[in-house]
Amino acid sequence: MRVYLVAGELSGDILGAGLMRALKRRHPDIVFRGIGGPRMQAEGLDSLYPLETLSVMGLVEVLKHLPGLVKVRRHLKRDALAWQPDVMIGIDAPDFNIGLERALRERGIRTAHYVSPSVWAWRQGRVKTIARAVDAMLTFLPFEADFYAEHRVPVAYVGHPLADELPLVNDRRAARAALGLDAERPTLTLLPGSRSSEIQFQGEIFLRAAVRLRERLGALQVIVPAASPERRRELDALMARAPELAEDVTLIEAQSREAMVAADAVLLTSGTAALETLLCHRAMVVAYRMAPVTYWLAKRLVKTRWISLPNLIAQETVVPELIQDAVSADSLVDTLLPWFENEAQRHALETRFAEMHAALQRGASERAADAIDSLVQRGCLDDVDTSA
């Protein structure tokens, strides 16, 4: 069995390695080729380019690298056609992979895409292009599978690897002890973002909200995980402007999940952090601000009622969302207070999140391998549990 895999960034390398391990258990003589990082290469991938080749973010950066990316895609197309894999799997990186998938599918190679782009939220017309490009879409989340089924795109809901990775039971007191925190004091975790622009737009407001929340509660300890050394330096500079909070703040690098588990509530920007907080079973408030022009465009392009994954998964408002002008220190405090003052309400949400976690915990890599096996052997997903 020959499998061509193309991953575009670190998260794709992790997903690809998990899928490769699951396929190797079924097919000991399987061979892999394409693009991947150190994890995929450790599983046996013959990678033609470094993983970073496709890791280009932002319109200006993409335009600058576009000639090189086109050259890479043409080379991969020629290479795959010469190698004749049983299936080509694009892992995320939709703007690059979907074009490659379509070109190969038109030449008779079966194709699958692992990790749905946010087509359900914006540029929904892309679903027609995806339908022409893939024999199967493998999705993390149930509402994504429902979207593709409605548009008659073969789809398998495989569950989320993060749900498999994180335990269904966790210990708040143990997490606080591991971080050197008081076991009894009210605890807030701040996650202002993993990008510099997010810290610029949210960081100071999040800190002001923490100061005012401490005033309302009488006592508060605050955890701020930095996503990288660069973000740590930016957060250090930000903390210098809030000296009145310094003795109550623990600034750490990485360990974001431990910080989530330790919290009574989490104040965060929208994104994967909201899903991780759900999978840590913690109450949260989601807040997001962006450049005014970006927000103006987003309001016209995005076609979804919610921006946070917990609400999208539940298809109802289970956590508060504050966007753009609604985000202020006072509004954040007012929205956070119920999670600290109403223990029964907080416990009910934590129980709901644990149930949602269990539903997402499906053995994603094995289910993805089921779908790929079915696609190779029968050309369809007919014998795969694709239910959401």
pLDDT of residue 58: 39
95 and 118 in contact (C-beta within 8 Å)? no
Per residue, the 3-state secondary structure of 291-303, as one string, reads: CHHHHHHHHHHEC
- Could you identify the residue written with the tokens 């330790």? 262
Q: Which helix (H) or strand (E) holds 80?
A: helix 59-83
Beta bridge partner(s), residue 288: 323
Domains, the chain, ranges and CATH?
2-159+362-378 (3.40.50.2000), 172-360 (3.40.50.2000)
pLDDT of residue 59: 41
Q: Can you tell me the distance from the alpha carbon of 202 to that of 330, in angstroms, rounded to the nearest whole number?
A: 14
pLDDT of residue 57: 42
pLDDT (tens digit, 0 to 9) for every residue of the chain, 388 residues total? 999 999 987 778 889 999 999 999 999 999 999 999 899 999 999 999 988 777 644 344 445 556 778 889 999 999 999 999 999 999 988 888 999 999 999 999 999 999 888 776 556 678 899 999 999 999 998 888 988 999 999 999 999 888 999 999 999 999 999 999 999 999 999 998 877 777 887 888 999 999 999 999 999 999 999 877 888 888 888 888 778 777 888 889 878 899 999 999 999 987 788 999 999 999 999 998 877 777 676 676 666 778 888 998 888 999 999 988 898 999 999 999 999 999 999 999 999 999 999 989 999 999 999 999 999 998 878 766 656 5
Q: Can you tell me the distance from the alpha carbon of 100 to that of 289, in angstroms, rounded to the nearest whole number?
A: 34
pLDDT of residue 60: 40
Q: Can you tell me the distance from the alpha carbon of 376 to that of 383, in angstroms, rounded to the nearest whole number?
A: 12
pLDDT of residue 53: 76
Other Cβ atoms within 10 Å of 142 Cβ, number: 17
pLDDT of residue 308: 87
pTM (two decimals):
0.79
- Could you identify the residue written with the tokens 């335009």? 63
Q: Using a CB cutoff of 8 Å and minimum separation of 24, what contacts does 134-137 make?
A: 134/98, 134/101, 134/105, 135/105, 135/110, 135/111, 135/375, 135/379, 135/380, 136/111, 136/112, 136/371, 136/372, 136/375, 136/381, 137/112, 137/113
pLDDT (tens digit, 9 = 90+) per residue, 336-357?
999 999 999 999 999 999 999 9
C-alpha separations of 89 from 57, 182, 373, 375 in Å: 22, 48, 12, 11
70 and 24 in contact (C-beta within 8 Å)? no
Q: Taking the C-alpha atoms of 154, 156, 157 and 161 in order, what is their torsion angle to the nearest 10 degrees? A: -130
Q: Which helix (H) or strand (E) holds 265?
A: strand 265-268
Calculate ∠ Cα 28-32-38, nearest 5°. Answer: 105
21 and 36 in contact (C-beta within 8 Å)? no
pLDDT of residue 64: 58
Helix axes 59-83, 94-105, angle to 10 degrees: 30
pLDDT (tens digit, 9 = 90+) per residue, 309-335?
899 888 899 999 998 889 899 999 999
